[in-house]
């Protein structure tokens, strides 16, 4: 982890975290589907203080053409942070971190999207982080699944994202920015609840084998909670006028 | 393009059929890494260096040590940066030019494994707080690519840093000056070792070759430290893992990693 020394008490004597949560509690998550006019599908997600807009275009023609595949559609993902999304201005050019996150999110979504249905086409997923507060990759992944579903692209399952981790020697759910900076470990998880498959998994920080098991356990639990909110966002959009669900 | 796909599919079927019989294309056990050899000090001009050969995959890691201005928020710690690049001599598909996402991922996963393990006690690498610290730069050059570059870079980096010598500096007029011919041992706390596993069908194999790499469904790289704890992890590829598989992979990584750690220790 960043290992920065701060004065923040990550976990007080009552087991309450620096933002008032219990160890096994996620931040407040709200998702709205269908927020952009031009995109084929879109979503706006607030994951605690993270604010992320996702737009999906496609299936559409592939440019450049040599990227197209006669056997399957391709998924392209771009995770990008706005310069104003963090404390100190971020250079708008894509950093190596963003290149890597784009890649892991793409590989987390691929198992869910039925790309073989659209050979020679591309589905483009653009995730724009407007405000970042720790756990952006999970939040972006969560929003991206909703936007893909909103675009009407056939999917096997939604992918829900939530991190687990370790701070002040305790296993915690949904690591926030302070806990990411000063905590001991961060383990972001992307999970398909219906298929029971983990499609995104990273870790930085030290965990004993026992803590590792616990982190995956509560991380999956967090993903299941996020999944319910994803489903609700889609229901709210498509059945808002009181149609039968 | 479609020709390639048909060959990939045939190859995949062949590899899968073998796995069902409990065999791998090169005759290894599922949990058996390829032969690892490590040569230390192959680049005398570098403060530390190692050539790691994992089967036919070869990586040269060189460590350069030099004084640096610290980042504003970490003035009480030294600096550690690992990179990795695939040289165009390594494989016909390797290209020159700006790194593509897979190479960026390779470099970042290599860096994360070393950094997050706390391999070096960075607090011991400070010359003067907030003014000057020691920077340790470990650059990996992949010279021959036969799959599983993650582990080859991990072993080369760990071996090179473990064997490096830190030049002595003294502060004169607020500037660090090197004392020629004097060195100290690096402040090593643990030896991180990554183990990459490929999932092919329902099978999990350790240290995939380039053939297995080309057809695998997904992969996971787990780095463990000398205490047998998990310190870094990266999932990749277009499929997922179940919870049980992940726990099995972590156990496998610690088990296989402890043997590899011995090879790295003995290389010094």
Structure-model confidence comparison of residues A36 and A7, the more confident one? A36
- Set of chain A residues whose Cβ sits within 8 Å of the Cβ of B218: 107
- Set of chain B residues whose Cβ sits within 8 Å of the Cβ of A200: 235
Confidence of residue A243 (pLDDT cuts 50, 70, 90): low
Pairing of strands B218-224, A197-207: unpaired
Q: What is the pLDDT of residue B141?
A: 96
Query: How far apart (Å, rounded) are the C-alpha atoms in residues A190 and A139?
Result: 10
CATH no. for residue A56?
3.30.230.70
Share the mean pLDDT of chain A. Answer: 93
Q: Within a domain: residue A64?
A: yes
Across the interface, whether the CB atoms of A204 and B232 are under 8 A apart is answered yes
Q: Within a domain: residue A181?
A: yes
Q: What is the pLDDT of residue B3?
A: 42
Q: What is the pLDDT of residue B2?
A: 39
Q: What is the pLDDT of residue A242?
A: 58
Size of interface A-B (CB pairs under 8 A): 110
A160-174 per-position pLDDT tens digit: 999 999 999 999 999
* pLDDT at residue A219 tops 80: yes
Across the interface, whether the CB atoms of B235 and A213 are under 8 A apart is answered no
* pLDDT at residue A7 tops 90: no
Q: Within a domain: residue A14?
A: no
Looking at CA atoms only, how far is residue A243 from chain B in angstroms?
A: 35
Q: What is the pLDDT of residue B5?
A: 56
Q: Within a domain: residue A7?
A: no
Closest CA to A152 of A64, A228, A234: A234
Q: What is the pLDDT of residue A237?
A: 93
Query: How far apart (Å, rounded) are the C-alpha atoms in residues A201 and A189?
Result: 5
Q: What is the pLDDT of residue A39?
A: 93
* pLDDT at residue A1 tops 60: no
Beta bridge partners of A173: A164
Q: If DSSP codes are grouped into helix, strand and coil, which group holds residue A19?
A: coil
Q: Within a domain: residue A6?
A: no
Looking at CA atoms only, how far is residue B204 from chain A in angstroms?
A: 15
Question: Residue ranges of chain B with pLDDT lower than 70?
Answer: 1-6
**In terms of residue numbers, what domain contains A210?**
29-238
Residues within 8 A of A (CB atoms), B 223-252 only: 225, 228-243, 246-247, 250-251
A50-94 per-position pLDDT tens digit: 999 999 999 999 999 999 999 999 999 999 999 999 988 899 999
A130-153 per-position pLDDT tens digit: 999 999 999 999 999 999 999 999
Burial of A63-86, coded b for 16+ CB within 10 Å and e otherwise, reads eeeeebbeebbbbebbbbbbeebe
Beta bridge partners of B206: B197
Fold of B16-267: Ribosomal Protein S5; domain 2 (3.30.230)
* pLDDT at residue A128 tops 70: yes
Confidence of residue A6 (pLDDT cuts 50, 70, 90): low
Q: How many domains does chain A have?
A: 1
Average pLDDT over residues A176-187: 94
Pairing of strands B126-128, B79-86: unpaired
- Set of chain A residues whose Cβ sits within 8 Å of the Cβ of B196: none
* pLDDT at residue A185 tops 90: yes
Across the interface, whether the CB atoms of A197 and B241 are under 8 A apart is answered yes
Closest CA to B32 of B209, B202, B159: B209
Across the interface, whether the CB atoms of B234 and A202 are under 8 A apart is answered yes
């Amino acid at each position: 982890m960043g290992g920065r020394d701060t004065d923040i008490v990550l976990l007080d004597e009552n087991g309450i975290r620096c933002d008032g949560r219990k160890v096994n509690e996620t931040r407040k998550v709200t998702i709205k589907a269908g927020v952009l006019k031009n995109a084929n599908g879109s979503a706006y997600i607030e994951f605690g203080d993270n604010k992320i807009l996702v737009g999906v275009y496609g299936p559409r023609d592939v440019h450049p053409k040599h990227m197209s595949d006669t056997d399957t559609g391709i998924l392209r993902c771009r995770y990008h942070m706005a310069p104003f999304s963090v404390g100190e201005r971020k250079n708008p050019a894509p950093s190596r971190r963003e290149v890597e996150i784009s890649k892991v999110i793409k590989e987390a979504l691929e198992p869910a999207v039925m790309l073989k249905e659209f050979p020679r086409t591309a589905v483009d997923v653009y995730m724009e982080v407007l405000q970042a507060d720790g756990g952006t990759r999970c939040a972006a992944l969560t929003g991206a699944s909703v936007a893909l579903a909103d675009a009407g692209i056939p999917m096997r399952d939604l992918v829900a994202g939530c991190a687990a981790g370790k701070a002040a020697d305790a296993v915690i759910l949904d690591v926030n920015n302070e806990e990411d900076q000063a905590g001991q470990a961060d383990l972001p998880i992307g999970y398909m609840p219906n298929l029971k498959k983990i499609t995104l998994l990273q870790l930085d920080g030290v965990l004993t084998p026992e803590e590792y098991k616990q982190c995956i356990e509560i991380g999956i639990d967090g993903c299941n909670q996020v999944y319910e909110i994803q489903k609700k966002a889609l229901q709210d959009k498509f059945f808002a006028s009181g149609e039968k669900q | 393009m479609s020709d390639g796909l048909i060959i990939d599919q045939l190859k995949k079927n062949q590899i899968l059929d073998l796995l069902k019989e409990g065999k791998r294309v090169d005759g290894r056990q599922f949990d058996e890494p390829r032969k690892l050899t490590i040569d230390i000090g192959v680049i005398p001009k570098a403060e530390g260096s190692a050539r790691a050969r994992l089967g036919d995959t070869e990586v040269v890691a060189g460590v350069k040590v030099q004084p640096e201005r610290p980042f504003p928020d970490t003035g009480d710690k030294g600096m550690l940066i690992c990179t990795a690049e695939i040289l165009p001599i390594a494989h016909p598909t390797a290209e020159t030019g700006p790194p593509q996402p897979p190479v960026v991922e390779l470099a970042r996963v290599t860096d994360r494994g070393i950094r997050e393990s706390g391999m070096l006690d960075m607090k011991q690498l400070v010359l003067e707080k907030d003014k000057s610290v020691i920077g340790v730069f470990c650059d990996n050059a992949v010279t021959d690519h036969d799959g599983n570059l993650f582990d080859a870079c991990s072993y080369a980096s760990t071996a090179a840093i473990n064997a490096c010598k830190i030049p002595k500096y003294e502060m004169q007029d607020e500037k660090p000056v090197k004392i020629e011919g004097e060195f100290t041992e690096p402040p090593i706390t643990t030896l991180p070792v990554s183990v990459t596993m490929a999932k092919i069908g329902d099978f999990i194999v350790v240290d995939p070759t380039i053939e297995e790499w080309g057809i695998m469904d997904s992969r996971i790289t787990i780095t463990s430290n000398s205490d047998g704890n998990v310190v870094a992890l990266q999932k990749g590829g277009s499929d997922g893992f179940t919870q049980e598989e992940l726990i099995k992979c972590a156990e496998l990584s610690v088990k296989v990693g402890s043997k590899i750690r011995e090879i790295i220790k003995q290389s010094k």
